[in-house]
């Protein structure tokens, strides 16, 4: 705008610009309002879905508490079907897997645990599912499958728990020395939680004497002096 224009000339120029661009101004405002309204609608929908998922999870808990397992499994499967991306669907699968284990329905428990381990959007829930899956394989008498599930690298806050499970699997395979090393690694990381220190110490103490004995084979007796 020319700085030497009079105020009236400047005002006429502004009014002409507004008339020429009114449709774009109105359209931009309308889009902004529509976008804000759409965002609020989306937020409200997400909140409703989260509340609904929470309520379904509570219903599953209640059904299992009443030992109405058929109803509990139905609710869990409906929650998984309708809201697969919800953390409550993953929690419900973990819950159902525990019931399957109680019923010795190990294959069904494995299916649910693998699903959470492989697809959950929550890293902690994936770790929980991995540890439980390893334990289920141990209960089935399949230590090699348990070892295959456990991560080779550091498991972060779950590292001690994984080391203890690795020790359990190695012990089940008859490798006491490797099991002891795994238990000792778990003890070193016990501060991260997820491990019962007392139980872990019992496992270590049960293997340590055997390990010490294996490494202390007596040598030949010293030769006596000729008399």
Is 36 a domain residue? no
115 and 186 belong to one structural domain: no
66 and 125 belong to one structural domain: yes
Could you list the residue range(s) of the whole structural domain that residue 165 is in? 155-212
Position with higher pLDDT, 208 vs 216: 208
The token pair that represents 32 in the structure block: 């902004």
109 and 71 belong to one structural domain: yes
Is 57 a domain residue? yes
Is 103 a domain residue? yes
The token pair that represents 78 in the structure block: 């409906």
Is 109 a domain residue? yes
Is 191 a domain residue? yes
Is pLDDT above 70 for 67? yes
117 and 184 belong to one structural domain: no
Residues 118-158: tens digit of each pLDDT: 999 999 999 999 999 999 999 999 999 999 999 877 677 89
Is 49 a domain residue? yes
pTM: 0.72
Task: State the DSSP H helix or E strand holding residue 211, giving kind and residue range, or none if neither.
Answer: helix 197-214
Residues 182-191: tens digit of each pLDDT: 999 999 887 7
Tokens 């002096």, residue located: 225
Is 52 a domain residue? yes
Q: What is the largest CA-CA distance in the chain?
A: 135
54 and 127 belong to one structural domain: yes
Considering 128, 149, 170, which residue would you say is the last residue of a domain? 149
């Amino acid at each position: 705008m020319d700085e030497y224009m009079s105020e009236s000339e400047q005002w006429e120029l502004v009014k002409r610009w507004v008339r020429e661009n009114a449709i774009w101004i109105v359209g931009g405002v309308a889009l902004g309002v529509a976008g804000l309204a759409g965002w609020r609608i989306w937020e409200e929908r997400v909140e409703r879905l989260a509340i609904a998922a929470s309520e379904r999870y509570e219903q599953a808990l209640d059904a299992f508490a009443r030992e109405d397992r058929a109803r509990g499994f139905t609710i869990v499967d409906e929650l998984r079907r309708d809201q697969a991306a919800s953390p409550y669907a993953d929690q419900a699968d973990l819950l159902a897997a525990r019931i399957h284990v109680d019923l010795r329905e190990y294959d069904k428990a494995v299916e649910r645990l693998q699903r959470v381990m492989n697809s959950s959007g929550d890293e902690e829930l994936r770790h929980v599912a991995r540890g439980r899956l390893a334990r289920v394989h141990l209960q089935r008498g399949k230590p090699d499958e348990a070892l295959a599930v456990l991560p080779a690298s550091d498991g972060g806050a779950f590292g001690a728990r994984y080391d203890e499970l690795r020790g359990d699997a190695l012990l089940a395979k008859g490798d006491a020395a490797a099991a002891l090393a795994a238990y000792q690694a778990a003890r070193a990381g016990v501060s991260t939680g997820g491990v019962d220190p007392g139980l872990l110490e019992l496992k270590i103490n049960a293997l340590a004497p055997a390990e010490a004995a294996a490494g202390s084979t007596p040598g030949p007796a010293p030769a006596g002096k000729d008399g």
